[in-house]
Structure 1
Amino acid sequence: MSTAVRRVLVAVASRHGGTAGIAADLAAALGGAPGVSAVVVPVAQQPDPASFDAVVLGSAIYAGRWLEPAREYAATHAAQLRLRPVWLFSSGPIGEPPYPPDEPHDVAPLTALTGARGHRTFPGRLDPTRLSFGERAMATAMRAPVGDFRDPAAARAWAAALAVEIGAASPVA
């Protein structure tokens, strides 16, 4: 194994900051691993995956789907993503236990498109003060549980496992 530092891009689409918080936890844990550095960049900034050795791509889930900017990012950069280790994560289930329990609709096609090695769903956050009027009305009508259901320890544990895989991978030339 080489002693070169593996650069990891954590690219994220977050509507109200909850998923961005999970991405920050992932990047902090990845960057704390020996031989790994990580940076969080919103997908809206179109970070070039070619300058990274690995990519963790994540999105908030609304109505069972990834946000459009994350889906577009995956499609636009699919060729580069397939050349390096990629993992996907989703954020959005809320409540105890987190609901809905199903995988987001986009996971299988995005996994195939990017060549992702895996996917993880993390519980999300529902903070009515961050929602638009329409979103608050929808959350109220659905009787969605309000609160922060994110699990930073679970994000750190997953990042630690990814760091081991990333450290064992050869850097992309």
Structure 2
Amino acid sequence: MTPARPRVLVTAASRHGSTHEIADALTRRLQEAAGDRGLTAAALHAENRPDPAGFDAVVLGSAVYHGSWLEPARELAHRHAAVLRARPVWLFSSGPIGEPPYPPDEPYDAATLTGLLAPRGHRVFPGRLEPSRLSAPERAVVTAMRAPVGDFRDWDAVRSWAVEIATALTSAALPAEEGMR
């Protein structure tokens, strides 16, 4: 009997779409990297409250504003903590903008979520700041702060991390929960 392909949920909270695009890129690269060893990955927005119970592994991320994850991602982590602790989990944050080096601090929520979920890793990816996607009050803050504008996302780093995750998932047996498949 051939074991079922591992199912990976890639979910993220995003205010203006940039972090969802990172989740989409992770999903595509996870599937490509797995090749014939097989795994399936689904990118679902955290705002839609996906249930991780039907997945073998989870990649959970959020845009970071003022040092914190967005509420839909935090809420998903807390609501499904028992399920998430029972499977491989990776976390990612999106938010620093400008040219490296970025501030060394992780988002405030990273330590709390690491303690809650015991993830296999956490990555911080640079974000994107595009004034045309912002509300008038957000544009005013960006202008006042003289925040750097542009797309600073490092797609090579995103793809490389996806390969690391795919390798970890396809080279080791995943814990099986009764009735999961």
Q: What TM-score does the superposition give when structure 2 sets the normalisation length?
A: 0.91
CA distance 1:100–1:140, change in 2 (3 Å): farther
> Which position in structure 2 is the counterpart of 1:169?
173
Matched AA of 1:166: L
**1:19 is aligned to 2:19:** yes
* Percent of residue pairs bearing the same amino acid type: 63
Q: Is the CA contact 1:49–1:80 (under 8 Å) kept in the aligned structure 2?
A: yes
Q: Distance in 1 between matches of 2:162 and 2:124?
A: 13
Q: Distance in 2 between matches of 1:31 and 1:25?
A: 10
The Cα of 1:4 is off from its aligned counterpart by 3.1
**1:111 is aligned to 2:127:** no
Q: Compare CA radii of gyration and give the structure with the larger one.
A: 2
Matched AA of 1:169: A
CA distance 1:98–1:3, change in 2 (3 Å): farther
The Cα of 1:102 is off from its aligned counterpart by 1.6
Q: Is the CA contact 2:49–2:72 (under 8 Å) kept in the aligned structure 1?
A: no
Which sections of structure 1, spanning at least 5 residues, go unmatched?
A: none
Q: What TM-score does the superposition give when structure 1 sets the normalisation length?
A: 0.95
Length, aligned pairs only: 172
Cα deviation, 1:100-141, whole Å, max 9, x if unaligned, reads 332111101101111211100000000000000111111111
The Cα of 1:16 is off from its aligned counterpart by 0.3
> Which position in structure 1 is the counterpart of 2:56?
53
Q: Distance in 2 between matches of 1:115 and 1:101?
A: 21
Range with bigger deviation, 99-108 or 130-139? 99-108
Q: Is the CA contact 1:52–1:172 (under 8 Å) kept in the aligned structure 2?
A: no
> Which position in structure 2 is the counterpart of 1:62?
65
